[in-house]
Chain A
């Protein structure tokens, strides 16, 4: 009898607690840990007082507000974005991430929440005026980004190896390399291109036309096992567009007029 009682008590102790999903965890913790890149203005940067700001950061804050919790912005570099999510250092990733099928094997992606066009960025004195002008030049990119993939695809198309390509650890490193003349061209999003040209520090950088790539529809990522959270994020994004908040934030941070539709032609 004693033995049975002991086993019963033990099973009570070790049995898993009532099932709680990620949303419950977040609400209970009172904070939403949100990964963003802070070296990717205007989507993510540090303002004059060094506090995080930007389009992605603001989406995080809206999301936290909708959940009734505090937003904790965790800075993740481009190559550390998904590892931070897998390693459970963050709850959601709002970091201008393209939902590739390869990445989707490891994390779960939401519906698109922002759309970028990818353009060529170069120095005014480089003589580069189109993507194909980069053929044979030294070029750069940021390790683990979609823009890097576009550049590498270009190199392959021109029959070039990777020996004239340098992959940097962060966005700012690649801009510095371009300003200093270490490379002659980068592929960046149109949003970055427009803000860099207006910045006194990067006065010598100009956009030199589009790249042969489709609009980059970026998505928010959550852990694969957090299905409930993913559904909530999708609803949140749907509402952001419906209430005009998407257009408002797009105008505020990117200043590029009417925001692009978050859909693709011929499908949803």
Chain B
């Protein structure tokens, strides 16, 4: 037979895993950015208007109460049936964005709510316009408060992106499954991909913890 479905684990597989890790990071960057923008917008609406809060509540509620795996399969089949010409990466980004935005909106709303009303009024009484006040007072103060929560959200996104393997996008987890298929060395492959996930997430979580500690320190000072 002129082909080889199986081989020993080698450097090609290592490179394949690294490519998977690259795609995981790409997913996080693209979906994370979109989710943050969407989340801040929806969070602002939910903070500023009661009507918006009531209108957006069901969508956020559903997104937070259904497993991502089920959402992925459901939404990808809806996309196809509706005739959207969108590839697996696009589908994955769309679903991860919506999913993370549902959480980001709540984080953002909490951030806006944490800014003292009197501070904002003081800014306006100094002659700032509403726009200036939002840009120079509300947003920076809110961002400061929710920054750690936002970092954990991005970390959750890295881990959630593993589920995208279920609709066929070859990110880190799917790449490890492929490598296991070819080498039948699950322990080695999973140990490697575990290390890669850890290498992506751990620095972020340490950074977030340090910043949180520093902020607490600043507030106490």
Cβ–Cβ contact B184 & A255, under 8 A? no
Q: B81 contacts which of A42, A77, A87 (Cβ < 8 Å)?
A: A87
Determine if B1 is an interface residue (Cβ-Cβ < 8 Å). Answer: yes
| A26 sits at the interface (CB 8 A) | no
A selection of 30 A-B contacts at a CB cut-off of 8 Å is: A42-B3, A45-B3, A45-B5, A45-B181, A46-B178, A47-B5, A48-B12, A50-B178, A54-B3, A75-B170, A77-B166, A80-B166, A80-B167, A83-B76, A86-B81, A87-B81, A88-B80, A88-B81, A88-B83, A89-B88, A89-B168, A170-B181, A176-B180, A176-B184, A179-B184, A195-B5, A199-B184, A202-B6, A252-B2, A253-B1
When C-beta atoms are compared, the residue in chain B nearest to A199 turns out to be B6
Q: Which of B143-185 contact A (CB under 8 A)?
A: 166-168, 170, 177-178, 180-185
Is there contact, CB below 8 Å, between B81 and A47?
A: no
Of all chain A residues, which has the CB nearest B85? A88
Q: Decide if A96 is an interface residue (CB 8 Å cutoff).
A: no
A83–B184 contact, CB under 8 A? no
Q: A86-B77, A86-B80, A201-B6 are in contact. Are A172 and B1 (CB under 8 A)?
A: no
Q: Which of B73, B177, B183 is the one whose CB lies under 8 Å from A83?
A: B73
Taken together as a complex, chains A and B put the C-alpha atoms of A89 and B73 apart, in Å, by: 12
Q: In the assembled complex, which residues on chain B have CB atoms less than 8 Å from the CB atom of A48?
A: 4, 7, 12
In whole angstroms, what is the CA distance A170 to B173 when docked?
Answer: 14
Partner of B177, one of A74, A86, A88, A170: A170
Q: Which of B1-59 contact A (CB under 8 A)?
A: 1-7, 12, 16
Interface residues of A in 123-182 (CB under 8 A from B): 170, 172, 175-176, 179
Query: Is A189 in contact with chain B by the CB < 8 A criterion?
Result: no
**At the interface, yes or no: B198 with Cβ under 8 Å from chain A?**
no
Those of A42-69 within 8 Å (CB) of chain B:
42, 45-50, 53-54
A80 and B168 contacting across the interface, CB-CB below 8 Å: yes
Q: How far is the CB of A172 from chain B (nearest CB, A)?
A: 4
With an 8 Å Cβ cutoff, the count of chain A residues facing the other chain is 36
Question: Binding site of B, secondary structure by majority: helix, strand, loop or mixed?
Answer: helix
B68 CB to nearest chain A CB (Å): 16
**B-side interface residues toward A, CB under 8 Å?**
1-7, 12, 16, 73, 76-77, 79-81, 83, 88, 166-168, 170, 177-178, 180-186
Number of interchain pairs (Cβ within 8 Å): 89
Q: How far is the CB of A89 from chain B (nearest CB, A)?
A: 6
Q: Is A193 interfacial (CB-CB < 8 Å)? A: no
Contacts of A201 in B (CB 8 A): 6, 183-185
Bound state CA distance, A39 and B178, in angstroms? 8
Considering the chains assembled together, what is the distance between the CA atoms of A108 and B188 in angstroms?
42
Which residues of A sit under 8 angstroms from B186, Cβ to Cβ?
Answer: 176
Q: Is A266 an interface residue (CB 8 A)?
A: no
B8 to chain A, nearest CB (A): 8
From the candidates B4, B76, B184, name the one contacting A202 in the complex (CB within 8 A).
B184
Are B177 and A172 in contact (CB-based, < 8 A)?
A: yes
CA distance A42 to B184 in the complex (A): 16
Known contacts A172-B181, A176-B184, A75 near B168 by CB under 8 Å: yes
A47 to B4: give the CA distance in the assembly, Å.
6
> Do residues B79 and A87 form an inter-chain contact, with CB atoms below 8 A?
yes
